[in-house]
């Protein structure tokens, strides 16, 4: 149970925040942040306690999320791979964490750019998660 819940606005910052668990039920995708995220006020940023981001996915199936990772081949060529099928289970199984860096919002769509972090080499890879969503809610506890 969280102390606060607000609808999406510019007062929440996800930069450098990592999720280690993702739930999906009844078209709601929930990203859990064990170390919270940031509440923004002017030039100040205050880290919350445990927090969640709730995204209403528009598609009937979980097709409303697309995830790509970017990896470098030995030749130096960067390859984009679709990780949509196993992204949620890999996060939930502890294979990696997803770190949010930036987000881009448009009508019924949000693109998160960030990194997936591993315990073994290559330790991290660039990642994009694209969601077809019309509503986002944030909930958190005090730190």
Closest residue by Cα to residue 41 from 14, 13, 11: 11
pLDDT, mean of residues 127-143: 91
**84 has a pLDDT exceeding 70:** yes
| pLDDT band (50, 70, 90) for residue 135 | very high
Q: What is the pLDDT of residues 67-81, one digit of tens each?
A: 898 988 889 898 998
Please, are residues 136 and 31 in contact by the beta-carbon 8 Å criterion?
no
Report the distance separating Cα 17 and Cα 33, nearest Å: 7
Domain ranges for the chain, please list them.
4-140
Burial zone of 98 (CB within 10 Å; 0-12 exposed, 13-18 middle, 19+ buried): buried
What's this model's pTM, rounded to 2 decimal places? 0.89
| pLDDT band (50, 70, 90) for residue 62 | low
């Amino acid at each position: 149970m969280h102390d606060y819940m607000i609808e999406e606005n510019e007062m929440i910052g996800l930069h450098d925040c990592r999720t280690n668990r993702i739930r999906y039920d009844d078209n709601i995708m929930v990203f859990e942040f064990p170390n919270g995220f940031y509440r923004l006020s002017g030039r100040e940023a205050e880290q919350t306690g445990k927090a969640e981001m709730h995204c209403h996915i528009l598609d009937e199936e979980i097709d409303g999320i697309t995830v790509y990772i970017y990896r470098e081949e030995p030749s130096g060529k960067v390859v984009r791979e679709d990780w949509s099928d196993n992204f949620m289970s890999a996060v939930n199984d502890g294979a990696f964490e997803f770190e949010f860096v930036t987000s881009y919002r448009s009508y019924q769509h949000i693109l998160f750019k960030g990194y997936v972090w591993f315990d073994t080499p290559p330790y991290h890879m660039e990642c994009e998660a694209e969601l077809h969503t019309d509503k986002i809610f944030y909930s958190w506890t005090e730190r």
